[in-house]
Amino acid sequence: MNYFSPDNKNNPNGDWVRSKIDSELSSDLFFQDFSRHSIEKRGSSFSKRKRIILVDVLKDQYSEWGENKDLLSRIDQLLNPKSVTVTCGHQLCVGLGPLYVHSKIRETQYLAELLSKKYSRPVVPIFWMATEDHDFEEIRHWEFKNKNFSIEENIKGVAVGSISSAIVTEVLQRMKLELGTNASINDLLDQFYSAYNKEGTLSDATRRLVYDFHPEVICIDASDSRLKKMASKLWEDEIMNQTLYESRDTSLWEKSKRDVPVPFKKSMMFYLIDGNRSRIDFENGKYVTNKKSWEPQELVDELKSNPERVSPNALLRPIYQEYIIPNIAYLGGAGEIEYWLELIPYLKNYMKSEVRIKIRTSFAWWTRTVERKWGQISKKGLDYWTTEKTFRLSLLNSLGISDVNTFPLHEEILPLMRNLYGNKKGTQRSVESWLQRIKKDEERMNERVRRNALREESIDFERFKVFREEQHPKNILQERVWTILDLTYYFGSDSCLQYSECLKNESNGFLWILPD
């Protein structure tokens, strides 16, 4: 395969976040290069007691690989007082979800290997599984070649990591009936079925799939009560002092007349019991859910006795992460990173954190057919981000035809008709209706002229539509629609390895993977 980093200046995806990091936030430590001092500081600040607990939890979660010495050795690296982590995370989407999940896992591994070599210390890549997320609707769908497959049940209010993995097997059987004629796809669906059909939960199945596709990366399920207990100071501080809420600074968004992605609330926690996850609100000096209420000290005592019952929301989750792993960097898409921007005052002034916040690289895979068509149309002055509407307008302009409707006939005939008929008794409304019909007909004639002109350019227009359909399906980035099924269908079963090779090239945040 060949790799290329194209001009990315017109990329509209995440442009607000990128612009803020490049301007107002450019001097903040969180967006600087790594330093030996900050890595050493992070490693030494994570206590031996925490390291022992973390390793014990991970070994329990990987118990079905109990004989895998290489895997256990990677986990044991976290006992080394010099070791640190680099992290990414995602929801427990069926089949791991869209391609960017795979690419950010690979990029996390690549960054860990790079830093480990540069600073001569273990850097462990971590995939944070969003096991306590309760939005099942977001994870139950799968799409391949314009066919949609969904888990029929739509479970609400339950932490998805606790759901039985067997719930996925029926949809996999349907997929195999419809898609299994392709040998590579058939093998891949068998691999998925094996992961989901074993005893366990969606957390367990996701861990198996990450191990299958990205064996060097360690998954963490942070719902374990031992990890929650490690962060007891965080929960107590949030209950008694509401420090995250008090540290808020939304001026960055207010200046841009933009809403913060996660609103600040006095309680950033959920109550989790028997898999059911309920928001904890702060009302009239008490913490309440739909079924319970606590005085602040009562809730502190409840969570000391039952630490597994607290669950952080999307804003508190990164802070919880910093409590339980020796993290030096988080890698995520622009949407995720905007959450982290909300945390900067807290990280800077309260935690004194030096974690680096990194926007992940985006990737586009090119089939040979579309690469050839792009070569034929890219000479017409368009770039990768050109929309179908813009391309159509460009073609019309090159033919000297406006995309704006003009009405010369209507303008010419309007005064004549009003003079001849408009002043006669009882005809005024009829004349105006007649004029509107003429204008409507002229509008249709404008469009007919454009269509006839474009017919002469139909070959290039069709080439462009094929390009858009592959590279911007549904008018969003390919990596947000394609899954490992598409990658396997077009490029073979070991295609994920190409991400690591591609990342060795210079990049401006966007990389193309092209056929030889």
Three-state DSSP at 6 gives coil
C-alpha angle 456-457-458 in degrees, rounded to nearest 5:
95
pLDDT of residue 241: 97
What percent of the chain shows pLDDT beyond 90?
71
pTM across the whole model: 0.89
Distance CA 172, CA 180 (A): 10
Residue 327 Ramachandran class (φ > 0 left, ψ -120 to 50 alpha, else beta): beta
User: Across the strands, what pairs with 358?
Assistant: 331
Ramachandran angles phi, psi of 269, nearest 5°: -125, 160
Three-state SS for 62-118 is CHHHCCCHHHHHHHHHHHCCCCEEEEEEECCCHHHCEHHHHHHHHHHHHHHHHHHHH
Is residue 26 included in any domain, yes or no? no
Cβ atoms of 341 and 252 within 8 Å: the answer is yes
C-alpha angle 137-139-141 in degrees, rounded to nearest 5:
85
Element (H, E) at 330: strand 327-332
Eight-class DSSP state of 360: P
- pLDDT interval class at 407 (50, 70, 90): confident
Q: What is the mean pLDDT of residues 139-162?
A: 89
Is residue 93 included in any domain, yes or no? no
Is residue 391 included in any domain, yes or no? yes
Is residue 189 included in any domain, yes or no? no
pLDDT of residue 420: 78
Q: Name the residue range of residue 395's domain.
A: 368-476
Burial of 397 (C-beta count, 10 Å sphere; 0-12/13-18/19+):
exposed
- pLDDT interval class at 152 (50, 70, 90): confident
Three-state DSSP at 457 gives coil
Considering the chain, what is the average pLDDT of its residues?
Answer: 91
426 has a pLDDT exceeding 80: no
pLDDT of residue 396: 72
Nearest to 287 by CA among 246, 250, 236: 236
Alpha-carbon distances of 464 from 369, 391, 392, 394, 447, rounded to whole Å: 12, 8, 10, 12, 20
Is residue 295 included in any domain, yes or no? no
pLDDT of residue 456: 62
> For residue range 160-203, what is the model confidence (pLDDT) as tens digits?
999 999 999 999 999 999 887 889 999 999 999 999 999 999 99
Burial of 255 (C-beta count, 10 Å sphere; 0-12/13-18/19+):
exposed
> For residue range 23-82, what is the model confidence (pLDDT) as tens digits?
999 999 999 999 999 999 999 999 999 999 999 999 999 999 988 999 999 999 999 999
Total domains in the fold of the chain:
1
Q: What is the CA radius of gyration of the chain?
A: 28
Cβ neighbours, 10 Å, residue 379: 9
Instruction: Count, in order, helices (H) and strands (E) of the chain.
Output: 22, 16
What separation, in Å, do the N-terminal and C-terminal C-alpha atoms of the chain show?
5
Distance CA 32, CA 215 (A): 29
User: Across the strands, what pairs with 87?
Assistant: 126, 330
- pLDDT interval class at 425 (50, 70, 90): confident
Q: What is the mean pLDDT of residues 474-496?
A: 93
Amino acid, single-letter form, for residue 422: G
Q: What is the mean pLDDT of residues 403-427?
A: 77
Is residue 444 included in any domain, yes or no? yes
Cβ neighbours, 10 Å, residue 16: 15
Q: What is the mean pLDDT of residues 481-509?
A: 91
| Angle between helical axes of 36-45 and 99-119 (0-180°, round to 10) | 100
C-alpha angle 125-128-132 in degrees, rounded to nearest 5:
170
Q: What tokens appear for 477 in the block?
A: 């980035």
Distance CA 486, CA 304 (A): 47
Helix, strand and coil percent figures for the chain, each rounded to 5: 55, 15, 30
- pLDDT interval class at 94 (50, 70, 90): very high
Is residue 427 included in any domain, yes or no? yes
pLDDT of residue 418: 80
> For residue range 197-237, what is the model confidence (pLDDT) as tens digits?
999 999 999 999 999 999 999 999 999 999 999 999 999 99
Is residue 262 included in any domain, yes or no? no
Q: What is the mean pLDDT of residues 406-411?
A: 77
Name which of 275-289, 291-305, 369-383 the model is least confident about: 369-383
Cβ atoms of 483 and 143 within 8 Å: the answer is yes
